[in-house]
């Protein structure tokens, strides 16, 4: 029996639909819209000169320019369609030497990039797109590489300072190189901030042997005192066309980030001695690898009769870290605990917590 008709409006490319990227993990970048900032919750972060510092989730800044000072922050300055960007500020300009390496980067896990088949005759073409806004106009570099043997450097142009510009770059996949396809670094993606001659090349838009992050002709942001650089909408996808940005639900994006970094609080446990508490923690999702534990501030526990007890200083070590899931930790530097008494964890100060890191 007929009940009527149904009118179907076919999807077209004008709707943002693309058959090549409709299903699965289209954007291989995690946190491309800069919405997750577990470490700083939007606060400004001073970056360490001479070592790599993780900033917004999945992003890392490394710089070793002499005298340079950099800060990072999640901000609400963003192009239409986005709510956040990451802002890098050159608080103090640096001096670049031949061995200087100043880059903003995301490492993509091999499992999330294996289908690109890089390093084989079936290597797939990819398209990188992102939005940038900088106080410094000019030509800048971005690079893709494996961990050691091959790299691809290309350039993009910011024509007008302090203007949002979308950059679209298409890269043919390499048929050589050593590309991890499991839980190690599958792809090293870096934006140059000011690198030295050791990692600079004049051979751009081609795969080259060796590790390079900068084109000879590109601008060095880090030598400009007070310079700012904003980035958001980062997408890396299979194919030679940039499609609409792959917005995933916030909860999905958070879980993807928690594979590499999590903040947790102790829930319950036992006083092992008068100074040591063995506590249960709830790991939100299995991590990429067995996690390294850290602590942000001192923690507080209660027993069933007396409390609170607060650590005099940070002290933490793992007890259970099986199958990439942390379940128990040991906290030290308490005083007055009663041995074998049941304990309850408390985020008396929510800004004090346990960190679990399995970053690439």
Indicate the domain borders of the chain: 16-257, 260-357
pLDDT for position 321: 75
Section 15-21 average pLDDT:
44
Burial status of residue 198 (CB atoms within 10 A of its CB: 0-12, 13-18, 19 or more):
middle
Q: Indicate if the pLDDT at residue 233 is higher than 90.
A: yes
Q: Indicate if the pLDDT at residue 333 is higher than 90.
A: yes
C-alpha 253/C-alpha 310 separation (Å) is 34
Which tens digits make up the pLDDT trace of 309-332? Answer: 999 999 999 997 777 898 899 999
Q: Indicate if the pLDDT at residue 19 is higher than 70.
A: no
Q: How confident is the model at residue 13 (pLDDT cuts 50, 70, 90)?
A: very low
Options 2.20.28, 2.40.30, 3.30.2020, 3.30.2310; CATH of 260-357: 2.40.30
Q: Indicate if the pLDDT at residue 81 is higher than 50.
A: yes
Q: How confident is the model at residue 147 (pLDDT cuts 50, 70, 90)?
A: confident
pLDDT for position 17: 44
Distances (CA, A) of 235 to 15, 153, 215, 242: 18, 17, 22, 8
List strands edge to edge, sheet with 342-346. 309-310, 300-303, 342-346, 266-271, 277-281, 325-331, 316-322
Structure tokens at 199: 């990692």
pLDDT for position 347: 83
pLDDT for position 23: 57
Q: How confident is the model at residue 2 (pLDDT cuts 50, 70, 90)?
A: low
- Note the residue count of the chain: 360
Specify the DSSP element, H or E, that contains 138: strand 138-145
Residue closest to 301 by CA, chosen among 322, 323, 275, 321: 275
- Mean pLDDT computed over every residue of the chain: 93
Section 59-83 average pLDDT:
97
Structure tokens at 21: 């990227």
Section 11-20 average pLDDT:
43
Q: Higher model confidence: residue 147 or residue 33? A: 33
Q: How confident is the model at residue 97 (pLDDT cuts 50, 70, 90)?
A: very high
CATH placement of domain 16-257: 2.60.120.260
Q: Indicate if the pLDDT at residue 67 is higher than 70.
A: yes
pLDDT for position 8: 40
Section 285-295 average pLDDT:
95
* pLDDT over 90 percentage in the chain: 87
pLDDT for position 322: 75
* pLDDT over 70 percentage in the chain: 94
Structure tokens at 224: 């400009």
Can you say how many angstroms the Cα of residue 335 is from the centroid of all Cα atoms in its chain?
38
Tokens 């693309």 belong to residue: 18
Section 354-358 average pLDDT:
97
**255: helix, strand or coil:** helix
Q: Indicate if the pLDDT at residue 55 is higher than 80.
A: yes
Section 34-54 average pLDDT:
97
């Amino acid at each position: 029996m007929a009940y009527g008709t149904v009118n179907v409006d076919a999807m077209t490319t004008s709707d943002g639909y693309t058959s090549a990227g409709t299903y699965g993990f289209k954007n291989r970048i995690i946190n491309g819209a800069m919405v997750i900032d577990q470490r700083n919750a939007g606060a400004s972060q001073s970056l360490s000169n001479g070592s790599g510092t993780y900033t917004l989730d999945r992003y890392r800044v490394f710089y070793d320019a002499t005298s340079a000072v950099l800060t990072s922050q999640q901000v609400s300055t963003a192009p239409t369609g986005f709510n956040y960007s990451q802002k890098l500020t050159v608080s103090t300009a640096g001096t670049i030497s031949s061995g200087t390496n100043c880059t903003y980067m995301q490492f993509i896990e091999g499992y999330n990039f294996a289908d690109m088949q890089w390093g084989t005759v079936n290597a797939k073409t990819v398209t990188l797109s992102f939005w940038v806004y900088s106080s410094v106009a000019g030509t800048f570099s971005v690079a893709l590489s494996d961990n050691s043997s091959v790299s691809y450097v290309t350039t993009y142009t910011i024509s007008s300072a302090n203007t949002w510009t979308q950059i679209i770059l298409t890269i043919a996949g390499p048929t050589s190189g050593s590309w991890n396809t499991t839980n190690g670094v599958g792809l090293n993606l870096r934006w140059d901030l000011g690198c030295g001659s050791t990692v600079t090349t004049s051979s751009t838009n081609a795969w080259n042997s060796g590790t390079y992050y900068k084109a000879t002709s590109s601008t060095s942001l880090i030598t400009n005192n007070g310079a700012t650089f904003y980035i958001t909408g980062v997408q890396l996808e299979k194919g030679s066309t940039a499609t609409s940005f792959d917005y995933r639900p916030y909860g999905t994006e958070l879980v993807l980030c928690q594979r590499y970094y999590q903040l947790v609080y102790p829930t319950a446990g036992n006083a092992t001695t008068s100074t040591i508490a063995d506590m249960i923690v709830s790991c939100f999702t299995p991590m990429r690898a067995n996690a390294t534990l850290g602590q942000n501030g001192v923690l507080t526990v209660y027993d069933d009769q007396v409390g609170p007890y607060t650590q005099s200083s940070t002290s933490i070590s793992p007890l259970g870290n099986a199958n990439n899931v942390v379940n128990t930790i040991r906290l030290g530097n308490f005083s007055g605990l009663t041995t074998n008494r049941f304990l309850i964890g408390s985020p008396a100060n929510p800004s004090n917590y346990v960190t679990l890191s399995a970053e690439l």
